[in-house]
Structure 1
């Protein structure tokens, strides 16, 4: 699906902070068939990854200590107003609103549990030009130990409703904005997640074939954390790139 704009409160962009940007670019271009745009002067080495000539993700130098990770950015009409709402709801500002040349304005926050996420106020850059297709991001999911705290926080900041969906022996939470699904949430219970695992926003990328993609991940130097597994929405796997950044791939049963 091609996109030219995003309603505020909708995930609109994903990017990776990597300790070895050039190596990461090589890994993901081989994995997803992306092309890398040359970094603009003043962009600090940040690369825009494209599919069919449209932006789908970013890869840049890692700026935070610890394990490299993929980040989710949520569209906002006013990054400064979102920063105020985050503080009022009990979150933290990690990077205050900052204009990125003429592309737009970004900011990074943490919810009350510590899960980090970004926002994007569009300028010339609207966000991902393709979503929900193989080679593009298709879902964003909060993993948290404290879902009861997350629900009021994201409702207050983005206007999301939390919809409970039975899924096997557990319950999945879907984030809805004005009746449309925009993301999900998983309760990191002690049976399935180590208590020391920090909360995180996970990124899913759509693929044509989950097994084939997992094979490419390992051939390119990455690793498989959860092998291909069936879900009601498709067949997914949890993988990590050659530097340990975790993401998920899924062959969707339908495209939205």
Structure 2
């Protein structure tokens, strides 16, 4: 697989206090299987959909336990240079670029509005081995209360163009490269409780959203939104039993016309 262009979503992982419970939940809801935990790298455990690596789960570092949350990684050709741009544009580097054996180099960062994300400079691990198929990553959206900060920051750090969806009911933009939309940006409204921090919502593909929601709720998950039909697919937002928020989407089930999208200078 060719190295992804700078700024392309390329990997997702999450820390769980109870990794075995997380494996059981996502195995049932998304059909994942799991590899062996890598003790050399903090018991990092990859998840597979139909034999392809699609995500990972890991226990927290001792002393840093907190609520579980999915982290989306954006591709970089030079993680150190990306970290410098993050700082130069008002962001924070939470974890300095760290080489992970011959797998690649990672860092963790936060945009000026508080959105946490990862950066991945690929080595032998190039990221997702499959996307847009059942169980695999499909899409992601930045949810922020300070959209102007994200809109200034991300296109300055990565080579994104910006497009605005013309819809009076939401403030939604898409960041793209070469005309291909890679990442959404949604303004958080008053419907979001004040205690919910800004975050990146990761969507995983499923063949049947309603069945995935029903199974997630049976297993102790919480339905946050939906299921709902849209021009981009039928989707729903969930929280797993340990609090990590994610979405499921069936891109083959669509309804309505795609809204007008215009470029932003």
Cα pair 1:50 1:57 within 8 Å, conserved = yes
Equivalent runs, 1:106-185 vs 2, <5 Å: 106-167=106-167, 169-185=169-185
Secondary structure in structure 2 of the residue aligned to 1:82:
helix
Q: Give the CA deviation at 1:26.
A: 1.4
Q: Which whole-Å deviations, capped at 9, do the CAs of 1:61-91 have from their partners, x for residues lacking one?
A: 1344432100100000011001100000000
Where 1:12 maps in the other structure, the secondary structure is: strand
- Compare the two structures and name the one with the higher strand fraction: 1
Map residues 12-161 of structure 1 onto 2, 5 A cutoff: 12-63=10-61, 64-161=64-161
CA distance in 2, matches of 1:194, 1:202: 16
- 3-state secondary structure, aligned to 2:129: coil
Match of 1:9 in 2: 7
Structure 2 distance, partners of 1:226, 1:62, is 28
What is the root-mean-square deviation in Å for CA atoms of aligned residues? 1.6
| Conserved? CA contact 1:224–1:238, under 8 Å | yes
Rounded to whole Å, the distance in 2 between the matches of 1:58 and 1:81 is: 25
CA distance in 1, matches of 2:84, 2:253: 38
**How far did 1:52 drift?**
2.2
What is aligned with 1:213?
Answer: 212
Displacement, 1:254?
7.3
Q: Unaligned stretches of 5+ in structure 1?
A: none
The answer to whether the 8 A contact 1:4-1:129 is kept is no
Normalising by the residue count of structure 1, what TM-score does the alignment of the two structures yield?
A: 0.94
How far is 1:4 from its partner? 4.9
The Cα of 1:36 is off from its aligned counterpart by 0.5
SS at match of 2:212: helix
Between stretches 36-45 and 91-100, larger displacement belongs to 36-45
Cα distance in 2 for residues equivalent to 1:106 and 1:7:
16
Match of 2:240 in 1: 241
**Does structure 1 conserve the Cα–Cα contact (< 8 Å) formed by 2:140 and 2:183?**
yes
Q: 2:261 matched to which residue of 1?
A: none
The CA deviation string for residues 16-70 of structure 1, in whole angstroms up to 9 with x for no partner, is 1111111111111122121111022402111011122211001001344432100
Is 2:252 aligned against 1:253? yes
For 1:188, the equivalent position in structure 2 comes to 188
- C-alpha separation in 1, matches of 2:128 and 2:253: 20
1:195 Cα shift?
Answer: 3.3
Paired position in structure 1 for 2:226: 227
Name the SS for the 2:229 alignment partner: strand
Distance in 2 separating the partners of 1:160 and 1:229? 29
Q: Report SS of the residue matched to 2:166.
A: strand
Number of equivalences:
252
Query: Please, what TM-score do these two structures have when normalized by structure 2?
Result: 0.91
SS of corresponding position for 1:218: helix
